């Protein structure tokens, strides 16, 4: 059967993602997000990671005129990009921009008088702009400062981790958040090479620890691990998922796009069981008691047309769940 947005391997086949993409960022799985998330075209929806406004724009286009979107992002550049792109929606009141961490969505929305929403989207990926702008320090492909902060106002930077953590702490970061098998060797080499001045120097240290054929995967894991530590990404994800259970109304939906197993594992367990341990909670009749009902058992993945057009979509996994009336 041909893949469609409602199948586990479904993805847009009509260029929807490219249509909502800009030079700043190309959103992934746009059509699948919209079809999976929207249950009431007049509802209130939250894009917890505005990025370049791609998913936000797609949601606005799919909603009725009285439907509203609140776009949250801790990156000031991303919010400015979204606001500049969707000025008319902001002026009409259909779109509201809120700067902050999606982990704090309950408080952020409460601050503007919103206690419940119809749907919430969390796209956990780093935006194309963040990767492509050397000054942000997210990528090993260009020389830039050891920054990696999604919110420039936050204190901890990649430089603090690389040049300040002791060898044991650094090894734990690489092991836990990068699942890096050579964490011991790389941590030891980083400490011995201090001060490490920038992303190019860090990449050179990592390359010195691995054979050529393993460089790309190892660099990806190491930079991912440091980025997760700097931004507290897994803690923020767990807090956001717990908050979503408070925010999303019964029969409303939560959509989460993850990009690596550390994220997806947490999302899958929480949507399936309502906890991060993966422990089923059942009533006296043996019926599973959970605040969410998965729309698809398996995650939705991008199909070949999308991954060819946007290689960063290859690792994307979309899970959608509906809020039950259980607390």
Same domain, yes or no, for 23 and 124? yes
Mean pLDDT of the chain: 92
Residue 224 structural domain: 135-231
Q: Are 141 and 153 in contact (CB under 8 A)?
A: no
Residue 19 tokens read as: 């249509």
Same domain, yes or no, for 206 and 247? no
Residue 97 pLDDT class (50, 70, 90 cuts): very high
| Rounded-to-integer distance, Cα 268 and Cα 47, Å | 20
Q: Is the pLDDT of residue 4 over 50?
A: no
pLDDT digits (tens, 9 = 90+) for 223-253: 999 999 999 999 999 999 999 999 999 999 9
Residue 30's domain is classified under what CATH number? 3.40.50.150
Same domain, yes or no, for 20 and 124? yes
pLDDT digits (tens, 9 = 90+) for 278-301: 999 999 999 999 999 999 999 999
More confident residue, 190 or 12: 190
Of all residues in the chain, what percent carry a pLDDT higher than 70?
Answer: 94
Same domain, yes or no, for 22 and 125? yes
Same domain, yes or no, for 166 and 302? no
Q: What is the model's pTM?
A: 0.91
| Rounded-to-integer distance, Cα 48 and Cα 81, Å | 15
Same domain, yes or no, for 99 and 30? yes
pLDDT digits (tens, 9 = 90+) for 175-207: 999 999 999 999 999 999 999 999 999 999 999
């Amino acid at each position: 059967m041909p893949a469609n947005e409602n199948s586990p391997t479904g993805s847009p086949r009509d260029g929807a993602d490219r249509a909502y993409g800009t030079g700043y960022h190309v959103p992934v799985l746009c059509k699948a997000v919209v079809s999976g998330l929207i249950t009431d075209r007049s509802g209130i929806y939250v894009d917890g990671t505005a990025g370049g406004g791609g998913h936000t724009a797609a949601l606005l286009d799919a909603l009725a005129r009285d439907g509203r979107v609140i776009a949250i992002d801790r990156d000031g550049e991303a919010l400015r990009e979204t606001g500049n792109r969707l000025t008319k929606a902001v002026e009409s009141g259909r779109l509201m921009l809120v700067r902050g961490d999606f982990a704090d969505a309950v408080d952020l929305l409460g601050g503007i008088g919103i206690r419940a929403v119809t749907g919430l989207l969390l796209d956990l990926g780093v935006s194309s702009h963040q990767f492509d702008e050397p000054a942000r320090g997210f990528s090993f492909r260009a020389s830039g400062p050891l920054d990696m902060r999604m919110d420039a106002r936050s204190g901890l930077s990649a430089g603090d981790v690389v040049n300040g953590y002791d060898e044991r702490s650094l090894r734990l970061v690489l092991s836990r958040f990068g699942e890096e098998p050579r964490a011991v060797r790389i941590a030891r080499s980083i400490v011995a090479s201090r001060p490490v001045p920038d992303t190019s120097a860090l990449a050179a240290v990592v390359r010195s620890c691995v054979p050529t054929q393993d460089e790309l995967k190892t660099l990806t894991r190491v930079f991912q691990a440091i980025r997760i530590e700097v931004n507290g990404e897994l803690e923020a994800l767990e807090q956001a998922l717990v908050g979503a259970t408070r925010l999303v109304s019964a029969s409303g939906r939560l959509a989460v796009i993850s990009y690596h197993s550390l994220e997806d594992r947490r999302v899958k367990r929480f949507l399936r069981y309502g906890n991060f341990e993966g422990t089923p909670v059942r009533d006296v009749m043996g019926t599973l008691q959970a605040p969410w009902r998965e729309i698809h058992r398996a995650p939705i993945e991008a199909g070949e047309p999308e991954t060819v057009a946007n290689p960063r979509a290859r690792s994307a996994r979309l899970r959608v769940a509906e809020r039950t009336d259980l607390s």
